[in-house]
Amino acid sequence: MRLAQLHETLSEELLREANEHGYRARIEATELHAPTAAGTFHWHATLFQIRVALAALGWTKQDQRNCPFIVSPDRKVAIAVMTGDMDTGLEMGNPTNQASKGAVLRQAVDRNRQLEMFDPAIITDLANSEDATQLWILLYHVAVGADGKPELRAELSAPRRFDRKQIVEWSERLVLEALRPESEPFMDQDSPTGPIEPTGPIDVPVERRTGTQ
């Protein structure tokens, strides 16, 4: 499976558990919470669960300039979590991040058509190198299914191009099986502003690997 090709510890089950954990946190929001609470709870819990699961498998937590990632042991892959729009998780869709990410993805996506993100100081040397760390985004979206019940769609995708504070192109999308939660959240959709996510510029840690893996 393609996920295992990215890293042997990645699986659809692991990503599904992270999404389920996020949704369970989401439905804790009530009408007495802030309007953005459901989306905020969802994002924080999804990020927490994927980091907990992968840290147990040797991945490393990284918080570069207030941007949270989890990085694989060989440093080839870094994963971030974002809320997606209605095209998220659809094979024929062209999804984007729901909340504007000008500061988060600024100076990164357009630097590399393969979307490997580097420190600007070393981008020239590593742009075409297999030693680079590539960013993948776990993108999720809560929609209403054909039966009127909530549907949680998600994908793990590698962004390629960024324009006007949105991801507008992906180099690869790995669409995950949609989940059909039994409980309905207080708000089926995220608020227009989306959950509170980091706003600092991305600086995925990159280091050369020595020897053979």
**pLDDT tens per residue across span 27-54:** 999 999 999 999 999 999 999 999 999 9
pLDDT value at residue 106: 52
pLDDT value at residue 63: 84
Provide the pLDDT confidence category of residue 173 given band limits of 50, 70 and 90: very high
**pLDDT tens per residue across span 147-165:** 888 899 999 999 888 777 7
Q: Is the pTM of this model over 0.85?
A: no
**pLDDT tens per residue across span 83-120:** 999 999 999 999 998 865 545 455 445 433 444 444 44
DSSP string over 139-206: EEEEEE-TTSSEEEEEEEEEEEEEETTEEEEEEEEEEPPPB--SSPPS-SS--TT-S----SPP----
Phi, psi values for residue 104, rounded to 5° = -75, -45
Collapsing DSSP to helix, strand or coil, 95 comes out as: coil
What the block records as the tokens of 161 is: 């191009």
pLDDT value at residue 121: 42
C-alpha 113/C-alpha 54 separation (Å) is 27
Domain ranges of the chain: 2-175
pLDDT value at residue 148: 85
